[in-house]
Amino acid sequence: MINPIFFIAKWWEIKKMDRAANDFIYLVEENLKDSRGLHVETAIAATCSVAGTLIMRSANIDFSRDPSLQPGQYVIVVALEEKGTQALGFLSAACGSFGLEPNTGWTLPIPDENKPHFSDIDLVRRFERPLNLVCYNKNIDENSRFKVALLAAAKLIKSALTIGLNPEIGKAIAGMSLISSTKMVPPLPEPNPALQRTPPPGAADL
């Protein structure tokens, strides 16, 4: 059972997070579109892989001290197991708030035709810094930024209904990317967004 306290936030914090999630979705979609349009499954994976990486970073582990551990490599941090479960609970609750079934789909196998086009580590390298910049410009603290990414994922799963993506598949992609990235050595951290308030190229009016 997920502690309800995990979901409590002041209404203005929720509003800030919602706006930040919309801006992050814009960035992800604009940067993933190609001549064939948007592969929404990859967009869902992008938001959740970033969320999982932020959770991993919250453990403050210096992986560079062990040269055998390379970005993208599988690693388990026992102290993060509960936080990963709570994050999945937050994502489930967000999906429920959008009218989706919150309790099913998370561990379903993903059909080959719906698998993301990029790996978790590649998506993190592309989108972790944009999320941090969006959240910094919205004055969202570092501990809440993974929730912005998960809220963006829930919105993408919901909106993908319009193009015929089964939300159960969307949730399976989200769950896989979230949990796998909480067990992945993250890339080297980017410079602190506090040093730059300018939105990244292609960003919405933040």
Note the pLDDT tens digit of each residue in 153-169.
Answer: 999 999 999 999 999 99
**Helix-, strand-, coil-residue percentages of the chain, each rounded to 5:** 60, 0, 35
Residues 128-161 have pLDDT tens digits of 999 999 999 999 999 999 999 999 999 999 999 9
Cα torsion 132, 160, 91, 110: sign? negative
| Radius of gyration of the CA atoms of the chain, in A | 16
Q: Tell me which DSSP letter residue 184 carries.
A: B
Q: How far apart are CA 152 and CA 146, in angstroms?
A: 10
Phi then psi for residue 34, to 5 deg, are -135, -165
55, 186 Cβ separation under 8 angstroms: no
77 SS3 class: coil
DSSP 8-class letter at 72: T
Contact 56, 186 (CB under 8 A): yes
For every one of its 206 residues, what pLDDT tens digit does the chain have, with 9 covering 90 and above?
Answer: 344 444 445 667 788 999 999 999 999 999 999 888 999 999 999 999 999 999 999 998 888 888 888 999 898 888 788 888 899 999 999 999 999 999 999 999 999 999 999 999 999 999 999 999 999 999 999 999 999 999 999 999 999 999 999 999 999 999 999 999 999 999 987 665 554 444 444 554 43
Secondary structure class of 74 (helix, strand, coil): strand
What six digits make up the tokens of 13?
């914090």
Residue closest to 181 by CA, chosen among 143, 149, 154: 149
From CA 51, how far away is CA 193, in angstroms rounded?
17
User: How many whole angstroms separate alpha carbon 168 and alpha carbon 202?
Assistant: 30
The burial class, CB within 10 Å (0-12 / 13-18 / 19+), for 158 is middle
Helix locations, the chain, DSSP H:
11-32, 40-57, 81-97, 120-137, 145-159, 167-181
Nearest in space to 170 (alpha carbons), one of 130, 97, 116 = 116
Is residue 71 within 8 Å of 185, Cβ to Cβ?
yes
